[in-house]
Structure formats: structure tokens, C-alpha cells
Amino acid sequence: MEQQRNLKLVQQEQIEEVDDVQHGPLPIEQLQASGIAAVDVKKLRDAASKLVPLGFTSATQLHAQRLEIIQITTGSKELDRVLEGGIETGSITELYGEFRCGKTQLCHTLCVTCQLPLDQGGGEGKAMYIDAEGTFRPQRLLQIADRFGLNGADVLENVAYARAYNTDHQSRLLLEAASMMVETRFAVMIVDSATALYRTDFSGRGELSARQMHLAKFLRSLQKLADEFGVAVVITNQVVAQVDGSAVFAGPQIKPIGGNIMAHATTTRLSLRKGRGEERICKVVSSPCLAEAEARFQISADGVTDAKD
């Protein structure tokens, strides 16, 4: 009877897997506050540690794991060259920039290229798309699919789409995403945009702390999906003008929303900006393994392509 009661309390804390006990932010005080005895909490921790080891491993083993990472093509050879193959699986890649700089178009292209075979730069998996701005367009996928010789109906069927309406809903969608990833192989998960709803749900400096805490938990959940399922997580981010004394002479500088929370949570940060006409420029701003570099690409009816000289 006591075990059934504890199991119910554990489920109320959204602890559904052993990994949640080891990886989740679940201090003993939180579990005790829910009504679970301290001795039972310790038993839960000890049992989980035997199933999910969190100790040291050799760099050789880590290197072997890294060799299994897949790079998914962006559709542009020049951009792939700068990214050393494309968008990396198992980590979070952030795309930020002003409106019409190509963030959403790149996301649409990835929804298609992730379905390509491995020898063509794909991920041989499905795509998941959380849309916070209402900018997802299935007809764009059909155009891009035709370019890569894929069946349009199959491409659309392999994209799981959800519209997020507030920050809490956006976070809850990740729980549904995890259950779907258990059932089938997803190569890419896109959140466009990860910060748009935070700008409306939290306003003013008085709610800044609550906003950053909520955002940190959301990003942490995304990283957990990347770790557990080897999916490439791609998030877009809006920017804000940074007005200071120098802006009088040089014009306002832009910076991505989310502050240090966003900067530390993402593995690779890519800055996108407009070029001439349909040309766009992508700069590697931050990455543990990529050098700072820029690549030119173009937005066309076929998605992201190489820029024309």
C-alpha cells in the first residue's frame, strides 16, 4: 500500500523514467515535500544510480560516441562547409537574426533534408516542428521536396507539427514530443521561435527573473531530448536593438533575446543577416568545435541554396 502511494506521488512529480531521477532537477527536499519519506527517496536514488551510471568515462569512449553524430545538410554546400557537414545531431543549434533573414526558411529546408538518406547528407528520420509564430507553410516543404527528388506526400506525413500558444503550452509539448520519439525515429526537432511567446507572456523587469527561470527549464528539456534521442534540436531566436551612446554614430546594435541563459544553453550559435537581394549571410558566433566563419547562401523557391555569384 505504501509503495503504491509513493509511486503515485512520484508520478505527480512527473518522474516517469529512471533518467528523470538521475538527470532531473529533483532535490530530496522537493520529493519529501510531496509526501515521500526520506528513506524512500534515498532508495529511489540508489536504485536509479545502478541503472543509469553518472560517473567518469574515458575520452576514448566519448570520442567513439561522437563519431556516431550525424550532420544534416542545410541545402547549401557553402554553409555546410562552414558547419563541417551541416547541423549536428545530439545538440542545440540556435539561429538568430532580424526578420526575413532566413531563419524560418532554413528550418523548412531542414524538415526535408533530414529525411534524406545518410549518404546524401540526411538523417533518415522524421521532423518535429513547434510553431510559436504561425509561419509554418506545408507548401514550402512540397517545393523543397521536389528539388531533392522526394515524394511530397511522404515528406508532409513525416513532419509532426504543433502550434504553441503560450510558454506553458510550449513546454508541455515537449512531453508529448518525448513520447513520440520513443515510438519512431526523429532526426530534427525545430522550435520557431523559442523566445517569441516569452516576450508576450512575461513583460517588464519585474517578471524578468521568472521569465529566465522558465526559459532555462524549457531549454534544459530540449537538451535532454537531444541527449536521449540523438535528435538535432534547432531553435530560432528573435533579436532586440541595443541602444547606447555609440548608437548615435554607428546605429543601434542588435543582440539575441534570452541573455546568458540562452547563450549557455545552446551548443552552436549562428547569426543570420540579410545580404543583397535574396542573399543571406550566416556567421558562426559560438561553437565548441567550429571556427568563427561566414558563409553566403540564398533563399529560393527550392529552399536554402548556394548564393549565385
Question: Which residues of 17-143 form beta strands (DSSP E)?
Answer: 71-72, 87-88, 92-96, 126-131
Q: 133 falls in which pLDDT band (50, 70, 90)?
A: very high
Q: Strand pairing of 71-72 and 87-88?
A: antiparallel
DSSP state of 120: G
Amino acid identity of residue 60, one-letter, is T
CA distance 162 to 233: 15
C-alpha cell at 245: 551612446
Please, how many CA atoms are within 13 Å of residue 296, restricted to the half-sphere of its CB?
Answer: 8
Contact 73, 122 (CB under 8 A): yes
CA distance 108 to 122: 14
pLDDT of residue 23: 54
Kindly tell me if the per-residue pLDDT of 123 is higher than 90: yes
Q: Higher confidence at residue 34 or residue 106?
A: 106
pLDDT-wise least confident of 69-83, 141-155, 176-190, 197-211: 197-211
Question: Which residues of the chain form beta strands (DSSP E)?
Answer: 71-72, 87-88, 92-96, 126-131, 159-163, 186-192, 232-237, 239-242, 253-256, 268-274, 279-286, 294-300, 303-306
DSSP state of 87: E
Q: 35 falls in which pLDDT band (50, 70, 90)?
A: low
CA distance 249 to 32: 58
Q: 251 falls in which pLDDT band (50, 70, 90)?
A: low
DSSP state of 119: G
Mean pLDDT, residues 221-245 taken together: 90
pTM of the model: 0.84
Architecture of the domain spanning 69-306:
3-Layer(aba) Sandwich (3.40)
pLDDT of residue 14: 45
Q: What is the 3-state secondary structure (H, E, C) of 173-234?
A: HHHHHHHHHHHCCEEEEEEECCCHHHHHHCCCHHHHHHHHHHHHHHHHHHHHHHHHHCCEEE
pLDDT of residue 48: 64
- The CB density around residue 54, as the number of other CB atoms within 10 Å, is 8
Residue in this structure with the C-alpha cell 538521475, named with its chain if needed: 22
Domain boundaries, the chain: 69-306
Q: Render pLDDT for 252-299 as a digit per residue (tens, 0 to 9).
A: 688 999 999 999 999 999 999 999 888 999 999 999 999 999 999 999
